[in-house]
Structure 1
Amino acid sequence: MPMWHPALTWLAAEWATATPKQRSAYAAIDRWLKSGPDLFAIPLRERALEIFGAFGSGADFPMPEKTFDTLSSGPLFSNPDRLDKLLHAFRPPPPLITETFPLEEDDGHYCRVGTGDVLFVVENSTTWWSLVESLPDDHRLGYVAWGLGGTFRASIRAIKAKHGITQIRYFGDLDTSGLRIPLRASSTALELVGLPPVQPAERLYRVLQSLGRPRPAAAKEASVSAGTASELARWLPAPCRAGGTQVLLDGNRLAQEWVSYRYLQQSTDWYDDVR
C-alpha cells in the first residue's frame, strides 16, 4: 500500500478489498498527486491520459485516456462528483453528429464556429470540445467536425458545394490507424468533384510530438514495416515525419489528448492551424 498523499489517506481502509486494477489506479493517482501537478481543470479523458500515461504502466493501462470509461467501481471511481473534484476534471458533452451547427450556442455546446472556408476535423470527441472552446476570435474555420474514427472516410462525402469549404485540416492520434484515416479520407475527397485533399494541422502535430509520451499501441496497431511507416508518416508535416515514422516502427502511439484543453487555452502557437 502506498504512503498516501493527504487527499487519499481515506483509501487505506479500502485497500484490502480493492481489486488489482483499482489498486493500480489508486497508486497511479497517488503518484500523480505527489508530483505537484498543474491543477488547471481539464476534461476527464485528458486528465486520465496525464495520470495513467505518465504514472501508470502500459500493461495496466494500455489506453490510458480511456481508463475511466470502464473503471467505474469502488468508492472513488463509482462517485463521479468525488472523482472529478479530486482530479480537477470535468466531463464535456460529446459533439452533435450533424451536417451543420446552429449559429447560436445552445445548452449542448454545439455551435457552428464561424463563416470561414476551412473545415477542421478532429478524431476524438474530447479534443473536439477542447479545440472549439479555445478558438481565437480571428480564425478561418467554418466548421469543426468530430471525425468519429474511421467514419470520416465515408462522412466526408456529406460536404457539398454550398458549404464553401476550400481547405480540410485534420488532427488525430499518431498511430497507424490515426494516419490511415486522413489518408483514406483524402483519397475519397479527391475522387469527388470540388473537394480539397485532407491536410495535417502542422502546429498541433508538432505539439503532440513535443508533449506526448509514446505508449505501446494496441494489438491491432502492431508495429509496421519501415516502408509502410514511411508511407503513412509522409502525410504528416515535414518536421514531424521522422518522429512519426519512429513512433510507428516502435509499435507505439501518441494519443491526441496530450494536446489538452490547458495547452489550447494557455498557448497561441497552434493558432496558425486555424488561420
Structure 2
Amino acid sequence: MTLRPSEIATLRGTILATGSVKIELDALWRLWNRAAPRFVGDPGQAAALHEALQQLASTAVLELPKQAWDASTVPALPRHVLVPAARRAETGRPWATFPWRLELGWASSLPVLSAALFDDLTTINDWLGRVDPANLPIVPVRYRSAEIFAREKRLEHLERTKMFGPGRLTLPMLACMRLAPPAPAAVVGPGPDVLVVENSDTYWVAVEALRDCPGHRIGAVVWGAGKTFPAQVPSLAVDVAGQGPLRGVAWYWGDFDPAGTATAVAAARSAPDVDVRPAMGLWTAMAGLAVQEAGTIDWSGAVGQDWLGTELWERLAPVRAEGGRIAQELVPVDVVAAWADSFDLRPAL
C-alpha cells in the first residue's frame, strides 16, 4: 500500500479547515474518504487511514491519543485526534509557535500571515519532512506543485507573494525549476536565423512564403503568440523546431501598436543569450498603409523608439498622430519573401 502525497496533503488541508481542536474517528473517516476515495470499500482502507494519520502526526499536524484507540479494526485507529494548530489559533498568531522545519523557521517571525498562506507553508513543511529535497530530481515547477499541494499552479501563485525571496522560499529549496514556455516554430530552410511574428495567421503566411523562397538566412518561423513571446525567448536558446538552439538572430515583427512594440522591447531584454532584433524591412512596410482604428489607440507612454530606431519611428509617426494602429495582416503576403533576401538580415558589424 502506497499513499499518494496528494492524498496526505488533501487530508491535512481538510483537517485544518475544520478549525476543530478535537476530531472524532467518524469525522476522520469522512475526511479520509473525500481525500482518498480509491480506498473506499478496500480491505486495506483502515491501514491506509492509519498510515495517513501517522504521517500527519510525525509532522505535528495532529496529535494521536495515548490510550483512546478503537481495536475493532486492524490496525487499530484513534478514537479521536487533536489538532494543535486549531488550539494555537486562539493566540491570534499560530504561525509564531508552529514547529517549523529549519528551512521555514523564518515564518515564525512574520508579523502577519493569512490563514491561506499559513496553510500553504505548513503543507510545504509537511512535504519537507517526508522527502530529502537535496536528493530529488529537479522537475518543472508545476510538477512539484502538484505533488505538494495536489494543485499544479499553487507554487506559481505563491511565487508572487512575499513568501518567496532571499532567506525565504526558493524553487531550488523545493527541487524544481521554471521552464520557458515553448515557442511554436516551423522549419523553412537551413539558415541560422529565425523570423518571429506576433499573430497566428501571419505565422502561416510566413511559413508558406519562406518555404517557397529558398536561399535566405531564415531557418524557422516562430509564432510569438501575442504578448507571450518575452516569456518564450529563453526557450530559443534550448531548441527551435527540433533543430537545436538558435544559431543566429531572432528577427521580430509584430503589430505596430503600443502592445506590439512593448512586446518587442520586452522580448529583446528577456534573455541576454538570445539576440532579438527588429525585422526592419517588415516594420518599414507598414509605413504609408491605411491607419486602423484611428482615434482609439492611446500612444502616450508607448515604448519602441530606441528599439526600432528614430528614423523608422518617425516614418510611422502618422499612425501615432492619428491614434491608430497597423496590424501585420495589412502587409502584403509577398513582402515577407522579399524581406528574406533583404539587406537587414546581414549580421551587424
Relative to the length of structure 2, the TM-score reads 0.41
- Correspondence for 1:199: 277
Partner of 1:115: helix, strand, or coil? coil
Distance in 2 between the 1:245 and 1:158 partners?
34
| Structure 1 residue ranges without an equivalent (≥5) | 1-96, 102-110
Distance across 2 between alignment mates of 1:274 and 1:134: 16
1:209 is paired with a residue whose SS is coil
Q: What is the match of residue 190 of structure 2?
A: 115
Q: Secondary structure at the match of 1:144?
A: strand
> Residues 238, 165 of structure 1: CA spacing in aligned structure 2 closer, same or farther, 3 A cutoff?
farther
1:271 counterpart = 2:346:
no
Q: Does 1:224 align with 2:299?
A: yes
- 1:244 equivalent in structure 2: 316
Deviation digits for residues 100-138 of structure 1, max 9, x if unmatched?
A: 76xxxxxxxxx4112321121001111111122112211
Amino acid in the other structure paired with 1:199: R
Match of residue 256, structure 1, among 298, 311, 328 = 328
Q: 1:154 to 1:274 in 2, by over 3 A?
A: same
The AA in structure 2 aligned to 1:224 is W
| Residue aligning to 1:139 | 216
Aligned position for 1:167: 249
Q: Write the distance in 2 (CA, Å) between the matches of 1:100 and 1:139.
A: 20
Q: Give the match's secondary structure for 1:158.
A: helix
Alpha-carbon distance in 1 for matches of 2:188, 2:255: 23
Question: Cα gap change, 1:218/1:187 in structure 2, threshold over 3 Å: closer, same or farther?
Answer: farther
Q: CA RMSD of the aligned region, Å?
A: 2.7
Query: Residues 68-79 of structure 1 correspond to what in structure 2 (within 5 A)?
Result: none
Is the 8 Å Cα contact of residues 168 and 199 (structure 1) preserved in structure 2? yes
Aligned-partner residue type, residue 122 of structure 1: V
1:262: Cα distance to partner? 4.9
Deviates more, 1:121-130 or 1:236-245: 236-245
The alpha carbon displacement at 1:139 in A equals: 1.0
Q: Give the % identical residues.
A: 30
The number of equivalent residue pairs is 158
**Cα distance, 1:98 vs structure 2:** 6.0
Kept in 1, the 8 Å contact 2:282–2:335? The answer is: no
**Kept in 2: contact 1:152–1:185 (CA 8 A):** yes
- Residue type at the aligned position of 1:154: A
Seen in structure 2, the aligned counterparts of structure 1 residues 154 and 199 have a Cα distance that, compared at 3 Å, is same
State how far apart, in whole Å, the 1-side matches of 2:339 and 2:258 are: 26
Alignment of 1:57-68 (within 5 A): none
- 1:189 Cα deviation after fit: 1.8
Q: Post-superposition, which runs of at least 4 consecutive aligned residues in structure 1 deviate over 6 A?
A: none
Measured in 2, the distance between the counterparts of 1:179 and 1:214 equals 16
Gaps of 5+ in 2: 1-180, 239-243
**What's the CA shift for 1:163?**
1.5
Name the TM-score, length of structure 1 as normaliser.
0.50
Quote how far apart the aligned CAs of 1:250 are. 3.0
1:183 CA displacement: 0.5
Q: CA deviation at 1:249?
A: 4.2
